[in-house]
Amino acid sequence: MFSKALKGVALAALIVGAGLAGAATLPTHAHAGEGSITVTYKDDVSTLDPAIGYDWQNWSMIKSLFDGLMDYKPGTTELVPDLATDYTVSDDGMTYTFMLRKGVKFHNGREFKASDVKYTLDRVVNPKTQSPGAGFFDTIKGFDTASAGEADGLDGIEVVDDYTVKFTLKQPDAAFLHKMALNFAHIVPKEAVDEWGQDFGKHPVGTGAFMLDEWTLGQRLVFKANPQYHIAGIPKLDSIVVEVGQEPVVALLRLQRGEVDIAGDGIPPAKFLEVMNDPEYKDLVVSGEQLHTGYVTLNTKIPPFDNVKVRQAVNMAVNKDRIVRVINGRAVPANQPLPPLMPGYNTDYKGYAFDPNKAKELLAEAGYEDGVATTLFVANTDPQPRIAQAIQQDLASIGMKVEIKSLAQANVIAAGGEADQAPMIWSGGMAWIADFPDPSNFYGPILGCGGAVPGGWNWSWYCNEELDAEASKADAMADPSQAEARIDLWRDIFTKVMDDAPWVPVFNEQRYTIRSPRLVAEDAILVDPVHIPVHYDYIAVK
């Protein structure tokens, strides 16, 4: 019911190759894989635990290892059942019943059952897990007590029998089926988590198309095909080798020599114009619009950003046009959290104009007429440090002395997840790409009170309880007849967020992926409008 209501907001992704029809309903068969591909990244992978992993680098790997009740048809925003075969929704939108696929095996050989669904979601919302995705499931009955550690699990999940699971919500949730397709809701077996404890993310066990075969920290990961995967003919590869510690420029050179198939960090900025103007690469580069916003977070718990006038001053001081030039025009300046393609984007909103003089006045009104010092965290992969330097120069012009801390991406993420660590973060390389095509996804995890928790992604630590209540009201508007009013409410919420200025929205970027000539794209090498940059399951090689 809800997926039909959201059909009007579905967005096209650029896909190379033919579409996949009916994959979610095919019977279990051994895979028809052949060959291997090599993918490179500069940074090591932090975790492969679906409850914890939450960056674009490990998102595709986790999705290859695990499955959820729902998934997206590759390259689209069309929801299809995955580990579920079907589902029903009650007339009041409060109860979802999923019928599960029989015969699906975890990598350890045990059959997937309905009890695994309940265990997985109970684990995600348990505060001991410190999952950054816990807040996605706040509409399930029992969330408040479970997330506070006052209950063993979610009252709203009932194991009806081995192949039926029922969810009872405390209010209708227009995005609930999308949330069931998130990596956080991908199913894990309790016995494997119990065996490995906090190291489960290094020893993942799922039902996915690939299994982890090797992980040499700081060097490489090897994934091998799951011969019992539940979709016929998937995966199309025997193995994937992910090499880490590879500088993007070196990775591009290796791709040119045929040693690498996908440069995971994309086209290096310094080589972007050269690659785009070279006829040799015409058929190797895939581009597509993204539901993406790059931004600077201003930690509302750390001075001087506990003062709204300082946050507004920073918004007026950053020259976004210049930053877009730094990345060779691969984006457009942003003035609000939502990207232009997302429903709820306010086309009438002008945002904070670039006005250094007004910024200085606001800084003085906040009590910092003599200036103030702070720190900006940034990932150390080009062009992120250069963007940070541009922001540093802009803020120096209004009297703010900014120290830049350039760290590995995982370290920046860790700092952002602690309330007292990072006054400012440039999100580049970790910027928000929609988990699902609904405006709620640009609020809860990154601007809502539920995301302002240890390990969360609300790095501004912004919590406006009145707006949270408005967001909850919008999420409950699940009836299709309320769709327009719901989007209007979200538009108003994001405008009010910008009044509080916990962010500096900087740009909305387009994604480019480069592949080797030997890859065959069958819904494979693509740029999704949502969080998954590459769907490895459908890649084949010549």
* pLDDT 10s digits, 497-530: 999 999 999 999 877 778 888 886 554 445 555 5
| Orientation angle between helical segments 308-317 and 356-365, nearest 10 degrees | 170
For residue 363, pLDDT over 50 is answered with yes
What are the φ/ψ torsions at residue 47 (nearest 5 degrees)? -165, 155
The pLDDT value recorded for residue 480 is 77
Q: Which DSSP category does 8 fall into?
A: G
Q: Find the mean pLDDT for residues 36-47.
A: 91
Largest CA distance in the chain: 70
Q: What is the per-residue pLDDT across 305-321, written as a single tens digit (0 to 9) for each?
A: 999 999 999 999 999 99
Which residue is associated with the tokens 């007339």? 91
Which has the closest alpha carbon to 143: 480, 369, 444?
444
Q: Which of 352-356, 388-392, 426-430, 522-526 has the lowest mean pLDDT?
A: 522-526
- Cα–Cα distance between 313 and 51 in angstroms, integer? 37
The CA radius of gyration of the chain, in Å to the nearest whole number, is 23
Q: Are 405 and 378 in contact (CB under 8 A)?
A: yes
Which has the closest alpha carbon to 334: 312, 314, 356, 349?
349
Beta bridge partners of 286: 513
Compare 94 and 12 and report the one with higher pLDDT: 94
Q: What is the per-residue pLDDT across 283-298, written as a single tens digit (0 to 9) for each?
A: 788 776 678 899 999 9
pTM as predicted = 0.76
Which has the closest alpha carbon to 436: 58, 181, 186?
181
What ranges make up the beta strands (E) of 229-310? 239-244, 262-263, 285-288, 292-298
Tally the residues of the chain.
542
281-284: long-range contacts (C-beta < 8 A, 24 or more apart)?
281/514, 283/517, 284/514, 284/515, 284/516, 284/517
The pLDDT value recorded for residue 511 is 74
Q: What is the dihedral of CA 139, 179, 510, 295, to 10 degrees?
A: 30
- Segment holding 393, helix H or strand E: helix 384-396
> What is the chain's percent helix, strand, coil content, to nearest 5?
35, 20, 45
- Cα–Cα distance between 52 and 66 in angstroms, integer? 13
Q: Highest mean pLDDT range out of 76-80, 154-158, 441-445, 515-519?
A: 154-158
pLDDT tier at 75, thresholds 50, 70, 90: low
Residue 335 tokens, joined: 């003035």
Q: Find the mean pLDDT for residues 319-345.
A: 92
Q: Are 211 and 98 in contact (CB under 8 A)?
A: no
For residue 185, pLDDT over 80 is answered with yes
Write the DSSP string, 492-512: HHHHHHHHH--EEEEEEEPEE
The pLDDT value recorded for residue 54 is 80
The pLDDT value recorded for residue 205 is 98
The pLDDT value recorded for residue 288 is 67
Q: Find the mean pLDDT for residues 217-222.
A: 95
What ranges make up the beta strands (E) of 337-491? 372-379, 400-407, 424-426, 432-433
The pLDDT value recorded for residue 379 is 95
What average pLDDT is seen over the chain? 88
Is 318 in a helix, a strand, or coil? coil
The pLDDT value recorded for residue 341 is 83
For residue 213, pLDDT over 60 is answered with yes
Is 142 in a helix, a strand, or coil? coil
Q: Are 252 and 49 in contact (CB under 8 A)?
A: no
- Cα–Cα distance between 225 and 240 in angstroms, integer? 8
Q: Are 45 and 245 in contact (CB under 8 A)?
A: no
Q: Are 505 and 334 in contact (CB under 8 A)?
A: yes
- Cα–Cα distance between 116 and 186 in angstroms, integer? 10
For residue 277, pLDDT over 60 is answered with yes
For residue 38, pLDDT over 80 is answered with yes
pLDDT tier at 445, thresholds 50, 70, 90: confident
Which has the closest alpha carbon to 443: 400, 500, 523?
500
**DSSP-derived pairing of the beta strands 239-244 and 331-333:** unpaired
Q: Find the mean pLDDT for residues 398-417.
A: 95
The pLDDT value recorded for residue 13 is 29
Beta bridge partners of 161: 164
Q: Are 380 and 247 in contact (CB under 8 A)?
A: no
